Amino acid sequence: MNKKTIIITGVSRGIGKAIAQKFMEEGFNVVGVSRRKPKYKITHYIQADLTEEDSREKVIDETVRRFGRIDILVNNAGIGIYESWEDMSIKELLKVFEVDFFAPVHLTQLALPYIKESKGTVINISSVAGELYVPYKSGYTAAKHALHAFSETLRMETKEYGINVITVTVGNVKTGFTLSAYGTKNPILLPFPGKRKELADKIYNAYIKRKSKLTYPSWYRAFIIFSKLFPKGYEHIIMRIWDRSFKKKRAIRQFQENLYGLNKTLKVVKYDKKSEVKYSKFSGSKQLKILK
Ligand SMILES: NC(=O)c1ccc[n+]([C@@H]2O[C@H](COP(=O)([O-])OP(=O)(O)OC[C@H]3O[C@@H](n4cnc5c(N)ncnc54)[C@H](OP(=O)(O)O)[C@@H]3O)[C@@H](O)[C@H]2O)c1
Residue nearest to atom 41 of ligand 1 (CA): 35
Nearest C-alpha neighbor of 177 from the set 82, 283, 282: 82
Residue nearest to atom 45 of ligand 1 (CA): 78
Task: Provide the pLDDT for residue 67.
Answer: 98
pLDDT tens, residue by residue, 129-146: 999 999 999 999 999 999
Mean pLDDT, range 252-264, rounded to an integer: 61
Task: Provide the pLDDT for residue 259.
Answer: 65
Determine if ligand 1 sits within 6 Å of the CB of residue 176: yes
Residue 277 pLDDT level (bands cut at 50, 70, 90):
very low
Between CA 122 and CA 117 the distance in angstroms is 13
Pocket test for ligand 1, best of 9, 47, 79, 128 (most atoms within 8 A of CB): 79
Residue 280 pLDDT level (bands cut at 50, 70, 90):
very low
Q: Which CATH number does the domain 5-229 belong to among 3.40.50.720, 1.10.10.10, 3.40.190.10, 3.40.50.300?
A: 3.40.50.720
Q: Which percentage of the chain shows pLDDT scores above 90?
A: 74
Determine if ligand 1 sits within 6 Å of the CB of residue 2: no
Tell me how far the alpha carbon of residue 79 lies from the centroid of ligand 1, in angstroms.
6
Residue 288 pLDDT level (bands cut at 50, 70, 90):
very low
Give the bridge partners for 127, in sequence order: 170
**Sheet strand arrangement including 213-216:** 44-47, 29-34, 5-9, 72-75, 121-127, 164-170, 213-216
| Ligand 1 atom nearest to CA at 51 | 31
Task: Provide the pLDDT for residue 147.
Answer: 98
Q: Which residues contact 167 (CB under 8 A, 6 or more apart)?
A: 124, 126, 148, 151, 152, 155, 212, 213, 214
Nearest C-alpha neighbor of 32 from the set 79, 71, 76: 76
Determine if ligand 1 sits within 6 Å of the CB of residue 35: yes
Determine if ligand 1 sits within 6 Å of the CB of residue 162: no
Tell me how far the alpha carbon of residue 259 lies from the centroid of ligand 1, in angstroms.
34
Answer whether 95's CB lies under 8 Å from 140's CB: no
Mean pLDDT, range 269-279, rounded to an integer: 42
Task: Provide the pLDDT for residue 244.
Answer: 78
Determine if ligand 1 sits within 6 Å of the CB of residue 14: yes
**Predicted confidence (pLDDT) at residue 49 exceeds the cutoff of 70:** yes
**Mean pLDDT for all residues in the chain:** 88
Nearest C-alpha neighbor of 194 from the set 167, 213, 221: 221
Spans of all domains in the chain: 5-229, 233-290
Give the bridge partners for 32, in sequence order: 8, 45
Q: Look at the pTM and tell me if it is higher than 0.85.
A: yes
Task: Provide the pLDDT for residue 118.
Answer: 98
pLDDT tens, residue by residue, 177-186: 888 889 887 7
**Predicted confidence (pLDDT) at residue 255 exceeds the cutoff of 80:** no
Determine if ligand 1 sits within 6 Å of the CB of residue 99: yes
| Ligand 1 atom nearest to CA at 49 | 32
Residue nearest to atom 23 of ligand 1 (CA): 10
Residue nearest to atom 48 of ligand 1 (CA): 170
Residue 55 pLDDT level (bands cut at 50, 70, 90):
very high
Quote the Cα angle for 190-192-198, to 5°.
Answer: 120
**Predicted confidence (pLDDT) at residue 235 exceeds the cutoff of 90:** yes
Between CA 128 and CA 219 the distance in angstroms is 11
Single-letter amino acid code for the residue at 88: M
Q: Which residues contact 256 (CB under 8 A, 6 or more apart)?
A: none
Determine if ligand 1 sits within 6 Å of the CB of residue 141: no
Point out the least confidently predicted range of 54-68, 89-103, 154-168, 227-241. 227-241
Tell me how far the alpha carbon of residue 52 lies from the centroid of ligand 1, in angstroms.
16
Point out the least confidently predicted range of 184-188, 246-250, 271-275. 271-275
Residue 292 pLDDT level (bands cut at 50, 70, 90):
very low
Q: Which residues contact 61 (CB under 8 A, 6 or more apart)?
A: none
Question: Crossing angle of helices 138-158/90-97, nearest 10°?
Answer: 30
Determine if ligand 1 sits within 6 Å of the CB of residue 49: yes
